[in-house]
Amino acid sequence: MKPATLFWLGLGLCLGTPALLIAEKEHLLTHGRRVLLPLAPVDPRSLMQGDYMALRYAVARPLQTALEEAAPPRSEDGEPRLPRSGTFILKIDAADVGSFARLDDGGPLAPDEQRLRFKRARFEPTFGAESYFFEEGRGEYYEAAKFGELRIDANGRVLLAGLRDSDRNPL
């Protein structure tokens, strides 16, 4: 193969891959199911990264409990052997607020249910949308955040679309 052909193929791959990833995220933002997850309180300041909100979701605690109850114990110390990743089911109410329903057994979902993927990071499950960055000096404004607005596809992939206050109004 000619060097010029290899150059153009490499350039197309280098430019095409990020474009494809961006298009995938845009599709999820536009067509993903809107779900609001209640937030657990966190500290919205990082000296190294500037102002941001580290998000913790209230559904993480009941998910963690369900994982511990379902996991087989380890033979040597008796601690449960938790999966590193998986999916669980959210029950979504009429206001689009999601709450933990159960671990995913692979069965069909009711219309008011949605799969959500998780990974275990350190001690608790995460969903891939744990940070929200904002302009420096706007921390007080975002302290009113009570919900994370997520967009979720049919496979449980998630994208953080924004934050909402206690009345579910966008911040």
| DSSP string computed for 103-138 | E--SPPPPTTEEEEEEEEETTEEE-S--EEE--TT-
**pLDDT by 10s per residue, the chain, length 171:** 788 888 888 878 888 888 787 778 777 778 888 888 898 866 555 555 567 778 889 999 999 999 988 877 765 666 667 788 999 999 999 999 999 999 999 899 999 999 999 998 777 888 888 888 887 777 788 888 899 999 998 888 898 898 999 999 998
Looking at the domain assignment, is residue 169 inside a domain?
A: no
Both structure tokens of 103: 């671990």
Element (H, E) at 148: strand 147-152
Residues 55, 22 share a domain: no
Model confidence, pTM:
0.76
Residues 58, 94 share a domain: yes
Question: What is the number of structural domains in the chain?
Answer: 2
Domain of residue 90 covers: 32-164
Residues 86, 21 share a domain: no
Looking at the domain assignment, is residue 53 inside a domain?
A: yes
Q: How far apart are CA 13 and CA 26, in angstroms?
A: 20
